[in-house]
Chain A
Amino acid sequence: MNWDILLQTLLSGILIGMVYALVAVGLSIIYGVMEIVNFAHGEFLMFGMYSSFWLFTLFALDPLLTLPLSALFLFALGALVYRFTIKRIASAPMVSQIFATFGLMILFRGVAQFLWKPDFRTVENSLVSGNIVVSGLYFGIPHLVAAVGAVLATGGVWWFINRTRLGAALEATAQDKEAAQLMGIPSHWMFALAWGLGAACAGVAGVLLSTFFPIFPEVGATFSLIAFVVVALGGFGNVTGAFWAGIIVGVVEVLGGFLIGPEYKLAIVLTLFLLVIIVRPQGLMGRAE
């Protein structure tokens, strides 16, 4: 056993886990406020990646610089998705809600394939590229930047929810929609906000990933699968829980891939998911209702 490699693997698991956490936080906010599982969540991430790719390819704008723009774009997309689809099925049976977000997933993938072809695309030579070596350990700069960016974004979301008036109103709506209305908080605006924020989280993660991950229409599939595992692990509607769970999933994935074989990466993560569901259905940090 080579300890350096093990440590290296552990660290890269932590780094990617921080990005997983951000994707999951978005999913978790939407579920927390509306109790709707967004199956099109990975597609928000995919759009984030493409927005970064096109701004870079067409206008030579670096992903790091266009990040706020992509975040705004995804926020608007999320809010529009709420306004024109989710609002109609907000009080529909769960099956309708599943079909609606599942349908959005297929639609978004189809749109991406139609407009941008199924090819793999990459962002080459952006501001963030290359490696650095710290005491014998290699870090890809894009991975490092993605992790730092994801932590900052997750921290920002935490701050918004816990420290601002609007964030408190969002949280209040998640806990008791009717009581929040009695406080004068308009539920529909809070739902739109949750969708905007949720999509922006996934979109920002997509931009951060775009500097080192291939971009293609189905890219969201893996990430949303992982996000479900993270959310289940961290407890639904819990930002702090999602953060730690993201890191756990990242480490389990990368370490498991290293020890058992990279082709089993996802299988290992999904085994973890099954174990959590069986042993602790409320999530590691969730409380039993």
Chain B
Amino acid sequence: MLSLRNIGIAYNGIPAVHDVSVEVNDGEIVALVGGNGNGKSSTLRAIAGLNPLARGNLIFAGEDITHLPAHKRTSRGICLVPEGRRLFPKLSVEKNLMLGAFTRSDSEEIAKSQDYVFELFPILKERRDQIAGTLSGGQQQMLAIGRGLMAKPRLLMLDEPSWGIAPKLVTKILDTIQQINASGLTVLLVEQNVKRALEIANRGYVLQTGRIALSGSGQDLLGNPEVQKAYLGI
């Protein structure tokens, strides 16, 4: 579905990602793991179109989207739930969800998506009129994922969904991601919680200083001594 072919990303001429190639197949959960500042977020932002590529190509659904502006990638089916959630803090829960469906016009289908989001996260239904900025961290993350789902994407990218939320909720969020994936949505996940991410992922890539250090199935990576030493503290 998505291939990153030897992509490089630079900020003001300083390279952050060198020569990264990643494949995401239909229906998979793929995890990008690694410590802070290794280029995981930059890679997701580049796929969403927020960071330009210094080199390489992006292919999505057989089409080269390297030069497509961010807002057009959304209607192609690419959706990023960004790091730090980036909700519209002064707007209500419902309006945030409505904005998630900005590229769609069929109001019946949009209402169905909203029902689906409310089914996944019933708390959002209860709080639909609340201002997004006043929700708790966990609820904000649910809203951010819900807002992403409202675009009815084909590829859902999640950047640090466990960031700043209570440990109990981390499990709930990751379970929901698995549930969303089971319904047929392809997921590309960036997570600092390496263990949990690899547990739910079909495949994973380990990024180190902007390069892919290791890749393999989630189980293989979990069993890999280097991964265990560096990220799992075993």
- A residues with a Cβ closer than 8 A to B are 165, 168-169, 171-172, 175-176, 178-187
Contacts and interface: CB of A to CB of B under 8 A. Distances in A.
Contacts of A181: 49-50, 69-71, 74
A182 B71 CA distance: 6
A165 B50 contact: no
Across the A-B interface, the 9 shortest Cβ-Cβ residue pairs: A184-B74, A184-B103, A179-B86, A181-B70, A186-B71, A183-B102, A175-B88, A184-B71, A172-B88
A182 B82 contact: yes
Nearest to B72: A184
Contacts of B91: 168, 171-172, 175
A174 B89 CA distance: 11
Contacts of B151: 183-184
Given A184-B71, A184-B103, A179 B82 contact: yes
Interface stretch (B93-101, B190-198, B209-217): B93-101
Provide the main secondary structure of the chain A interface.
helix
Contacts of A165: 98, 102
Interface residues of B, number: 26
Given A186-B69, A186-B71, A187-B71, A171 B98 contact: no
Contacts of B99: 168-169, 172, 180, 183, 185
B142 interface: no
B98 A168 contact: yes
Nearest to B85: A179
A180 B74 CA distance: 11
Contacts of A187: 71
Contacts of B100: 183
A179 B140 CA distance: 14
Contacts of B89: 175
Contacts of B102: 165, 169, 183-185
Contacts, number: 66
B143 to A, nearest CB: 12
A196 to B, nearest CB: 19
Given A165-B102, A175-B88, A175-B89, A184 B95 contact: no
B98 A178 contact: no
Contacts of B147: 183
B48 interface: yes
Nearest to B89: A175
B113 to A, nearest CB: 13
A146 B88 CA distance: 35
A169 B103 CA distance: 11
Contacts of A180: 88, 99
Nearest to A173: B88
Contacts of A175: 88-91
B221 interface: no
Interface in B64-118: 69-72, 74-75, 79-80, 82, 86-91, 95, 98-100, 102-103
30 contacts: A168-B95, A168-B98, A168-B99, A169-B102, A171-B88, A171-B90, A171-B91, A172-B91, A175-B91, A176-B88, A178-B82, A178-B86, A179-B86, A180-B88, A181-B50, A181-B70, A181-B74, A182-B48, A182-B82, A183-B71, A183-B74, A183-B99, A183-B100, A183-B103, A184-B71, A184-B75, A184-B102, A184-B151, A185-B71, A186-B71
In the complex, which of the residues B87, B90, B100, B151 has the most CB atoms of chain A within 10 Å of its own CB atom?
Answer: B90
A175 B80 CA distance: 18
Contacts of A171: 88, 90-91
Given A165-B98, A181-B70, A182-B74, 9 more contacts: A168-B91, A168-B95, A168-B99, A169-B102, A180-B88, A180-B99, A182-B48, A183-B151, A184-B151
